[in-house]
Protein backbone atom coordinates (compact mmCIF):
# COMPACT_ATOMS: atom_id res chain seq x y z
CA UNK A 1 0.00 0.00 0.00
CA UNK A 2 1.30 3.45 -0.90
CA UNK A 3 2.04 5.83 1.95
CA UNK A 4 -0.15 8.51 0.45
CA UNK A 5 -3.02 7.89 -1.96
CA UNK A 6 -5.16 10.32 -3.89
CA UNK A 7 -7.99 10.03 -6.36
CA UNK A 8 -6.30 11.21 -9.57
CA UNK A 9 -9.53 12.70 -10.94
CA UNK A 10 -9.89 14.64 -13.09
CA UNK A 11 -12.58 16.64 -11.38
CA UNK A 12 -14.24 18.79 -14.03
CA UNK A 13 -16.33 21.54 -12.49
CA UNK A 14 -18.00 24.74 -13.73
CA UNK A 15 -16.87 28.13 -12.49
CA UNK A 16 -18.46 28.96 -9.16
CA UNK A 17 -18.91 25.34 -8.12
CA UNK A 18 -17.57 23.70 -4.98
CA UNK A 19 -15.18 20.79 -5.36
CA UNK A 20 -13.74 18.58 -2.64
CA UNK A 21 -11.39 15.65 -2.60
CA UNK A 22 -9.51 13.53 -0.11
CA UNK A 23 -6.12 12.04 0.45
CA UNK A 24 -5.52 8.95 2.60
CA UNK A 25 -2.30 8.09 4.38
CA UNK A 26 -1.11 4.81 5.80
CA UNK A 27 1.07 5.80 8.75
CA UNK A 28 -1.03 6.66 11.78
CA UNK A 29 2.01 8.35 13.38
CA UNK A 30 2.26 10.98 10.62
CA UNK A 31 2.96 14.34 12.14
CA UNK A 32 2.19 17.07 9.64
CA UNK A 33 0.23 17.54 6.47
CA UNK A 34 0.22 19.97 3.56
CA UNK A 35 -1.52 20.64 0.29
CA UNK A 36 0.67 21.71 -2.60
CA UNK A 37 -0.51 22.98 -5.95
CA UNK A 38 1.20 22.10 -9.21
CA UNK A 39 0.39 23.73 -12.52
CA UNK A 40 1.07 21.87 -15.74
CA UNK A 41 4.81 21.36 -16.27
CA UNK A 42 5.65 23.64 -13.37
CA UNK A 43 7.10 23.13 -9.91
CA UNK A 44 4.90 22.32 -6.89
CA UNK A 45 4.12 25.23 -4.59
CA UNK A 46 2.74 25.18 -1.07
CA UNK A 47 -0.99 25.92 -1.01
CA UNK A 48 -1.65 25.49 2.68
CA UNK A 49 -0.76 23.55 5.78
CA UNK A 50 -3.42 21.32 7.35
CA UNK A 51 -4.03 21.78 11.04
CA UNK A 52 -5.74 19.33 13.38
CA UNK A 53 -8.67 21.65 13.93
CA UNK A 54 -9.10 22.36 10.23
CA UNK A 55 -8.24 25.65 8.61
CA UNK A 56 -9.35 28.03 5.90
CA UNK A 57 -7.46 30.24 3.53
CA UNK A 58 -9.88 32.28 1.51
CA UNK A 59 -11.89 29.90 -0.67
CA UNK A 60 -9.84 26.89 0.41
CA UNK A 61 -10.63 24.71 3.43
CA UNK A 62 -8.40 21.89 4.62
CA UNK A 63 -9.40 19.29 7.17
CA UNK A 64 -7.68 16.42 8.92
CA UNK A 65 -9.36 13.25 10.14
CA UNK A 66 -6.79 11.29 12.15
CA UNK A 67 -9.21 8.51 13.09
CA UNK A 68 -9.82 7.62 9.44
CA UNK A 69 -6.37 8.77 8.31
CA UNK A 70 -7.30 11.21 5.61
CA UNK A 71 -7.05 14.88 4.83
CA UNK A 72 -9.37 16.81 2.58
CA UNK A 73 -9.33 19.96 0.50
CA UNK A 74 -12.44 21.91 -0.41
CA UNK A 75 -12.48 24.71 -2.93
CA UNK A 76 -15.47 27.04 -2.89
CA UNK A 77 -16.56 29.34 -5.71
CA UNK A 78 -14.10 27.76 -8.14
CA UNK A 79 -12.18 30.03 -10.50
CA UNK A 80 -10.63 29.16 -13.84
CA UNK A 81 -7.27 29.82 -12.19
CA UNK A 82 -7.88 26.99 -9.72
CA UNK A 83 -7.29 24.48 -12.52
CA UNK A 84 -4.23 22.56 -11.40
CA UNK A 85 -3.07 19.34 -9.80
CA UNK A 86 -3.28 19.29 -6.01
CA UNK A 87 -0.65 17.23 -4.21
CA UNK A 88 -1.17 15.85 -0.75
CA UNK A 89 1.96 15.79 1.43
CA UNK A 90 2.40 13.81 4.62
CA UNK A 91 5.36 14.10 6.96
CA UNK A 92 6.80 11.15 8.86
CA UNK A 93 10.04 11.47 10.80
CA UNK A 94 10.71 14.79 9.06
CA UNK A 95 10.44 13.17 5.61
CA UNK A 96 7.86 14.36 3.12
CA UNK A 97 5.80 11.80 1.18
CA UNK A 98 3.85 13.08 -1.80
CA UNK A 99 0.64 11.76 -3.27
CA UNK A 100 0.41 11.45 -7.05
CA UNK A 101 -2.03 14.35 -7.17
CA UNK A 102 -5.68 15.14 -7.91
CA UNK A 103 -6.33 17.07 -11.09
CA UNK A 104 -9.01 19.76 -11.04
CA UNK A 105 -10.24 21.45 -14.20
CA UNK A 106 -12.55 24.43 -13.85
CA UNK A 107 -14.51 25.28 -17.00
CA UNK A 108 -16.14 28.54 -17.97
Secondary structure of residue 37 in the 3-state scheme: strand
Which of residues 25, 34, 35, 86 is near other proteins by CB under 8 A? 34
Residue 69 binds other proteins (CB under 8 A): no
Which of residues 7, 17, 27, 44 is near other proteins by CB under 8 A? 44
Residue 85's nearest CA partner among 37, 23, 34 is 37
Residue 101 binds other proteins (CB under 8 A): yes
Question: Max CA-CA distance within the chain?
Answer: 42
Contact at 8 Å (CB) between 36 and 46? yes
Interface with other proteins (CB under 8 A): 4, 8, 31-32, 34, 41-46, 49, 87, 91, 94-101
Amino acid sequence: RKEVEQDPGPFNVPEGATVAFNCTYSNSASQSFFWYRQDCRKEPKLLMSVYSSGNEDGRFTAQLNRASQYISLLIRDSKLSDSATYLCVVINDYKLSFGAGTTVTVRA
